Amino acid sequence: MYQHQPPVMYQHQPPVMYQHQPATYEQSTMESAMNSTSAPSPTVKSQRPPSRQKLNLVKCLICHKTGHRAAECRSRVRQEPSNRQRAPLLVRPPRRAGRGGRRFMTPVYEPDTQREPSMNNSKESLNQGTLEDIPIELMNMPEEYSLGHCVAKDMRMSAGIAVYFKRKFGRVGELMDQRPNVGSVAHLQENDRFIYYLITKELSNQKPTYNCITAAITKLRDLIVEHGVKKLAIPRIGCGLDKLDWSIVRGIIEIAFQNVGCKIKICHFIHNLSKESELLRVEHPRTIKVRKSIKDIEKRKFEKLNIILFSRKTTLPVYWDQHFESVNEKYCFKSQYCKDYEADLEVGQCLYYRTMEAYIFVIITNENTIDHFSYQNLETGLVKMKMLINNDQWHPTFVIHSMNNYIFEYLINKKIVSLICTTFLELTPCLIIQIVNSNS
């Protein structure tokens, strides 16, 4: 029989209160290893190792160890400078840390300029009085001052203050015969005064670079030391039409002329630099390049062409090339030219032949063909030629042949045109017809 049993009464026990204690990294790893085979406990959970940000660990920037800052590092004493060279400890602004990182201050040693007055003051004393800006035009400076300015290698000098140098001092052919390269300096001497031409670019329509003007200023310093110049006057070189920054160029001059002992005056040529291109541009003879023979060149009515030929010899046999031959086929001047060669010729001499339609000028530029082309002798012959046509022609037309021999100099044709433009500047407007070879 089934006997009824009374229900068992359960006595309620209060729950046990556990006090949570954070486990360390070693305890958590040990418990996870012991419970790896058994079922995981529902009350105890494995904890990840705390990050450095939670532990608030700092790292020393000197010894690269954690637990202390750079200001508290004991090895800092060995890396600090001595008391005589000690500089103040400056702190840069805090760097922006990456994701999860923290910002920290970077101690940096920076030199204290006030603690070393001897070196800096000596540099200031060397530069003091070397450069001085004065509101005087460069051409009005006393003759005790040597002058200098920037030009191109082709020596065209068609704009800016170079026009005034060309008009006042001339002797462009003498400058060309020095054959200066970009970054060097050509010069003229007038009694005890020197005129310096800094070559800062190849062509007049180009712009110079800071490397080129630095090389030219360095060469100028060497020439000033060699010539014993103590006073120099220059404009703001490279900063007018060439558009360079004067603060940079001035710094280059100060560095180059340190310890030289030459006083440099910076003259403001005009007060309004924005109008320099308008005020100082001079109209030069117009040049036209044609690929024709001398036979095909047409002249205007009541006009005579001025044909210029260059002879490279002063003695027999007679100098004769393809340019002489082409002109002789149309104007027939060879017989008289050969008679003139029987006499003693000199460099810079200008032979003159007059025909019905043209004037033929032969300028003796060299004593022999193996020498460099002499621009100075060409300039002398052009001046004599100018005296012959000055009263007869108002707006003359000149015809020249391009020289195809580039062994001596590849800018020879540009320099010849520049020299003709300079010589006949007073006869402008005039025209220069340059016959160019078809394969050049």
Helix/strand/coil (H/E/C) assignment for every residue in 332-401: CCHHHHHHHHCCCCCCCCEEEEECCCEEEEEEECCCCCCCCCCHHHHHHHHHHHHHHHCCCCCCCEEEEE
Answer yes or no: are the C-beta atoms of 431 and 288 closer than 8 Å: yes
Cis-peptide into 111, omega within 30 deg: no
Answer yes or no: are the C-beta atoms of 361 and 308 closer than 8 Å: yes
Is 299 an annotated catalytic residue? no
Q: What is the pLDDT of residues 303-348, one digit of tens each?
A: 889 999 999 888 888 999 999 999 999 999 999 999 998 888 999 9
Residue 80 CB burial class (10 angstroms; 0-12, 13-18, ≥19): middle
Average pLDDT value over all residues in the chain:
78
Q: What is the pLDDT of residues 173-232, one digit of tens each?
A: 999 999 999 999 999 999 889 999 999 999 998 999 999 999 999 999 999 999 999 999
Is 371 an annotated catalytic residue? no
- The pLDDT of residue 410: 85
In the 8-state DSSP scheme, what is residue 231?
Answer: E
Q: Which range (3-12, 24-33, 364-373) has the least confidence?
A: 24-33
Q: Please tell me the distance from the alpha carbon of residue 440 to that of residue 430, in angstroms, as a whole number.
A: 25
- The pLDDT of residue 105: 45
Is pLDDT of 19 > 70? no
Active-site residue, from 153, 166, 201, 313: 201
* Domains of the chain and any CATH numbers: 51-80 (no CATH), 131-279 (3.40.220.10), 286-435 (3.40.220.10)
Answer yes or no: are the C-beta atoms of 148 and 198 closer than 8 Å: yes
Is pLDDT of 360 > 70? yes
Torsion of CA 374, 375, 379, 380, to 10 degrees: -20
Answer yes or no: are the C-beta atoms of 334 and 323 closer than 8 Å: no
Phi-psi region of 219 (alpha: psi -120 to 50; beta: other; left: phi over 0): alpha
Active-site residue, from 154, 166, 242, 313: 242
Terminal-to-terminal C-alpha distance of the chain: 137
Is pLDDT of 277 > 70? no
Q: Please tell me the distance from the alpha carbon of residue 80 to that of residue 86, in angstroms, as a whole number.
A: 8
Give me the DSSP letters along 408-421: S-TTHHHHHHHHHH
Torsions phi, psi for 410 (to 5 deg): -85, -15
pTM above 0.85, yes or no: no
Q: Please tell me the distance from the alpha carbon of residue 276 to that of residue 239, in angstroms, as a whole number.
A: 11
